[in-house]
Amino acid sequence: MNKIPLTVIIPVFNSEKYLDKLIKIITNEVAEIIICDSFSSDTTLEIARSHSLKIIQKEYINSATQKNWAIPQASQVWVWIIDSDELPELKLIEEIRDFINTVDSNIDMAFMPRKNLFWGEFMGKASAYPDYQSRLFRKSKGRYQNKEVHAQVEVPGKFIHLKNALIHDDFKDISSWWHRNNSYYKYELDECLKTGVKWSFKLQYVKPLYVFFRIYFLKRGYTYGFRGFFVAFQWLVYHFMVGAKLYENNLKNK
């Protein structure tokens, strides 16, 4: 079977835990794979070289900047961004193959759902499903928003939504999760300062409580026992800490 005429870009930094498995799934399916590395210090680059992949390197500023720098270096008309801790369902690969072969000229992008796992389990809507990600787009048309965190791709034309999903298995243990979130608090603070968001009672207290209520009750996280409670509670803490970082920044400026 012919390879899908698209470039997969995989942003990496110390991704040895995930990378080899992802590459083995897609390497015989797509025309090009580019590893966009932020100067890893583990065996990430050795893994990439063992598969004879193209490697590009740039110091990391934020996710959007890194990906926007990498996109023009793709050789194919269509680009698919996959994070190193994600794996495509096999049906997603076939769905993308059909999409690329039949897409209309007025379609510039395809959103794909993502299934987030917590301790290896998918919890449906309590895992934020369908959590649509803007990952497949025309190289000449798509660029990430100028945001410090949680940026999506913007295109001038139309888009569709695919049915099959990426599997996002980044939650391995509590320690690494909280350590990673500490970096995200900084990006969230930078985005608040860039967009003029001010500290408020609503931001600090109401939003975190609402996020917990939405995940645990409205999205039925309570049906997953402690796992569901933990996920809802950690997102409460996440948003509480974003407010706290903004409050702390105000104190420093005073």
How do residues 116-135 score in pLDDT, each as one tens digit? 999 999 999 999 999 999 99
Cα(223)–Cα(246) distance, rounded to whole angstroms?
A: 34
Cα(225)–Cα(229) distance, rounded to whole angstroms?
A: 7
Predicted confidence at residue 125, as pLDDT, reads: 97
Predicted confidence at residue 73, as pLDDT, reads: 98
pTM of the predicted structure, to 2 decimals: 0.95
Label each residue of 95-108 as H, E or C.
HHHHHHHHCCCCEE
Coil, strand, or helix at residue 250?
Answer: helix
How do residues 16-60 score in pLDDT, each as one tens digit? 999 999 999 999 999 999 999 999 999 999 999 999 999 999 999
Residue 64 has pLDDT above 80, yes or no: yes
Grade residue 89 by pLDDT with cuts at 50, 70 and 90: very high
DSSP string, 145-193: -S-SSS--EE-SSEEEE-SS-EEEEEE--HHHHHHHHHHHHHHHHHHHH
CA separation, residue 168 to residues 5, 115, 129, 247 (Å): 24, 6, 11, 32
How do residues 132-167 score in pLDDT, each as one tens digit? 999 999 999 999 999 999 999 999 999 999 999 999
Cα(45)–Cα(53) distance, rounded to whole angstroms?
A: 10
Cα(11)–Cα(60) distance, rounded to whole angstroms?
A: 10
Cα(250)–Cα(60) distance, rounded to whole angstroms?
A: 26
CB 8 within 8 A of CB 30: yes
CB 186 within 8 A of CB 245: yes
Predicted confidence at residue 1, as pLDDT, reads: 72
Helical axes 174-195 vs 225-253, angle rounded to 10°: 40
The tokens for 62 are: 């934020």
Percent of the chain predicted with pLDDT > 70: 100
